[in-house]
Amino acid sequence: MARSDVQMMLDVKAGDDASFDFLLQKYRSPLVNFLNRMVRDTATAEDLAQEVFLRVYRARKQYTPSAKFTTWLFRIATNLALNSVRDNRYQRMGISLNAPLDGEDSAPMELPSREMRIDEHMVERDRAEIIRRAIASLPEKQRAAVLLHKYEEMDYGEIAGILDCSEGALKSLLFRAYETLRVQLAPLVAQPVAHRAGGRRPS
């Protein structure tokens, strides 16, 4: 029987480093993706993700399973990301590294599929950049709410716990965020493409 994340964290607390390794393997990609979309810089996102895991490890002795493990994990990640964005240092770096049409995408692991033609890849990359910019234009809390709702598929209670707000306030937050995205992404909605790269929530 598979152990739950909470059980594994309790094992980490008891001194089992293998369980920590398992949690690292399981959550490194979701964390790096979430942080990358929050701060818009892959190197910074990786630094922050490392910091998240380090904080989890440091806090293992005080860990009590009062909430879902992911709520705790993403709360640490969200706080770090919000601090980083508000600090503005990484944001400025992100704009310079992720400037549109500068001939180089900052995400080294985003590889086009083999069957995709060059022009299709360019179209998809441009569309991805527009989406990235639209998400980045959202206020920080709305951005975090959309990322946790759309890409991490968390329920409202969990997201509200991470963002430290009520479920009602979260629903209003999400509505306003999607309303902004609806306007900003209207050109892409009008011209859908055949290829779909990622995203996990079925729509």
| Site membership for another protein, residue 127 (CB under 8 A) | yes
| Site membership for another protein, residue 108 (CB under 8 A) | yes
Three-state secondary structure call for residue 198: coil
Report how far residue 145's alpha carbon sits from residue 74's, in angstroms, rounded to the nearest whole number: 11
Pull the structure tokens for residue 16.
Answer: 């089992």
Distance, C-alpha 18 to centroid of its chain: 25
| Site membership for another protein, residue 93 (CB under 8 A) | no
| Site membership for another protein, residue 175 (CB under 8 A) | yes
Which of these, 127, 102, 109, lies nearest to 196 by C-alpha position?
Answer: 127
| Site membership for another protein, residue 154 (CB under 8 A) | no
135 to 14, 24, 42, 61, 140: CA distances (angstroms): 40, 27, 16, 37, 9
| 12 neighbors 23 (Cβ within 8 angstroms) | yes
| Site membership for another protein, residue 29 (CB under 8 A) | yes
- Nearer to another protein by Cβ, of 87 and 179: the residue is 179
Binding-site ranges for another protein (CB under 8 A): 17, 20-21, 24-25, 28-29, 32-33, 36-37, 42, 45-46, 49-50, 53-54, 57-58, 61, 107-110, 124, 127-128, 131-132, 135, 149-151, 155-156, 168, 171-172, 174-175, 178-179, 181-182, 185-186, 188-189, 192-193, 195-199, 201, 203
